[in-house]
Chains A and B, each alone.
Chain A
């Protein structure tokens, strides 16, 4: 094993700004019961950003084919429900597009039921819909999915608890610090304000950034409503090190 030796001071501390307060939810949110036994009790320890944090996994084309972005055409027939287009851009806080980034989505069907085995609620499965999609962002950071509008569904968090319609998103940026899992919600959903998961985001403006908007320029006449949702990952500095190592 060889070690990459660097003279002291050769690596300058990288600059990857940490999120502003109020954007990311606190870990313990009593209104969301599942946090009670899972949120750490000890304070998080500040991790300075070294090489492991300023780099990150880059799963790419080997993980997805173009057909993965259309959740309505991967089975024998068409799924039931309201066909929609969901598109937008992945950017960083510096305004730079994030190209070639893997996006994975998963969602309930139009009846509010997940195809996954542990969802045993009394609502129909759709043999033509599995709720899973993948795509890579293009050179401008754009992504586009065709899917079915997911239904709301009840959950056991409290009496008469219902999740607003949502699509789960998992995103890789280019650095470990940029990894994001989140949920996209739909405009005008009266369940949004009643949802302890959405409400876990302290800043109301940040909360609203999880809601897509109807966009008639994305909508295709006689075929599908279009929604636009841009996703902003943490920023990263392109040049974070003062000098390159002399390879030997």
Chain B
């Protein structure tokens, strides 16, 4: 049986009354040993902050397992987190503030085996929802201090332009251990700085 899909529509400007969760940006509780923060701004094609966006993240735990019963390797046993780190949820949700900023507290995900061989570098999958986005945009966040793993990553490797590849790599902040920064540019009329978005 094949049923026809329900189409996507924009979340519009009024999601803030319903969707934000107070603990949404905390993929692990603040203060969890080994916690890192990933933050930045969401910008539109004029370089203006997008103040009504919602970002969602999904990622493996530090051992490369998912808090998901369908992880085919049997890693994730529970709905709400199964890794060694107490309270790790794998899932984050953050609405941007009046300056277009987002910030997640999480653990660095592990590497993952890739279908057909190879290894994915540590990464988060990201969905971007906002007024003006008729479908969610999907991107990824990698880490600047995982250079060797990033070079071998099959998804990054398929993006030929190094400037565009860089739009997916959160930058470790000098002097601030565990702090990473990545801006998400929905559009760049010149092309080069526009975040890579995926057809998932």
B112 touches A50 (CB 8 A): yes
B5 touches A20 (CB 8 A): yes
| A38 on the B face (CB < 8 A) | yes
A104 touches B133 (CB 8 A): no
Known contacts: A18-B199, A25-B9, A45-B198. The answer to whether A37 contacts B187 by CB under 8 A is yes
Known contacts: A13-B115, A45-B199, A55-B66. The answer to whether A197 contacts B73 by CB under 8 A is no
Q: Report which of B13, B110, B187 forms a contact with A40, defined as CB distance below 8 A.
A: B187
B17 touches A24 (CB 8 A): no
Complex formed: what's the CA distance from A93 to B112 in Å? 28
B44-85 CB contact bits vs A (8 Å, 1 = yes)? 111010101000101110111111101111111001100000
Report A54-110 residues with CB < 8 Å from chain B CB. Answer: 54-60, 62-63, 91-95, 104-106, 108
B123 touches A52 (CB 8 A): yes
Q: Report which of A106, A174, A210, A247 forms a contact with B7, defined as CB distance below 8 A.
A: A210
Give the chain A neighbours of B197 by CB distance below 8 A: 40, 42, 44-45
| A201 on the B face (CB < 8 A) | yes
Closest B residue by C-beta to A9: B117
| B155 on the A face (CB < 8 A) | yes
Shortest distance between the CB of B169 and any CB in chain A (Å)? 15
| A6 on the B face (CB < 8 A) | yes
B8 touches A25 (CB 8 A): yes
A51 touches B63 (CB 8 A): no
Complex formed: what's the CA distance from A115 to B15 in Å? 11
A63 touches B115 (CB 8 A): no
Interface SS of B by simple majority: loop
| A122 on the B face (CB < 8 A) | no
| A175 on the B face (CB < 8 A) | yes
A116 touches B134 (CB 8 A): no
Complex formed: what's the CA distance from A62 to B66 in Å? 18
| B30 on the A face (CB < 8 A) | no
Give the chain B neighbours of A27 by CB distance below 8 A: 133-135, 137
| B138 on the A face (CB < 8 A) | yes
B45 touches A37 (CB 8 A): yes
| B116 on the A face (CB < 8 A) | yes
Known contacts: A12-B115, A38-B186, A201-B7. The answer to whether A131 contacts B18 by CB under 8 A is yes
Closest A residue by C-beta to B190: A41
Q: What is the total of A-B residue contacts with beta carbons within 8 Å?
A: 290
A38 touches B50 (CB 8 A): yes
| A224 on the B face (CB < 8 A) | no
A234 touches B5 (CB 8 A): yes
| B183 on the A face (CB < 8 A) | no
Give the chain A neighbours of B2 by CB distance below 8 A: 93-95
Q: Report which of B5, B90, B188, B191 forms a contact with A93, defined as CB distance below 8 A.
A: B5
Q: Report which of B7, B129, B131 forms a contact with A209, defined as CB distance below 8 A.
A: B7
| A159 on the B face (CB < 8 A) | no
Q: List the 5 closest pairs (A to B, CB-CB), nearest first.
A: A34-B132, A8-B117, A57-B91, A106-B18, A95-B1
Pairs across A and B, CB under 8 Å, 30 listed: A1-B110, A4-B65, A4-B75, A4-B112, A24-B7, A25-B8, A25-B134, A27-B134, A34-B10, A34-B131, A38-B132, A38-B133, A45-B158, A47-B200, A51-B60, A54-B72, A58-B79, A95-B1, A131-B17, A131-B18, A132-B18, A168-B9, A174-B70, A183-B9, A207-B7, A209-B7, A210-B6, A232-B3, A244-B72, A245-B74
- Which A residues form the contact surface with B (CB < 8 A)? 1-6, 8-14, 18-20, 23-27, 29, 32, 34-42, 44-60, 62-63, 91-95, 104-106, 108, 114-119, 130-133, 168, 170, 174-177, 179-183, 197-198, 200-201, 205-207, 209-210, 231-234, 240-241, 244-245, 247
A-B contact sample (19 more), CB < 8 A, given A42-B197, A52-B125 = A13-B116, A35-B132, A38-B132, A39-B132, A41-B187, A44-B198, A45-B198, A47-B198, A48-B154, A51-B120, A52-B123, A55-B70, A55-B71, A93-B2, A179-B127, A181-B129, A197-B134, A210-B6, A241-B72
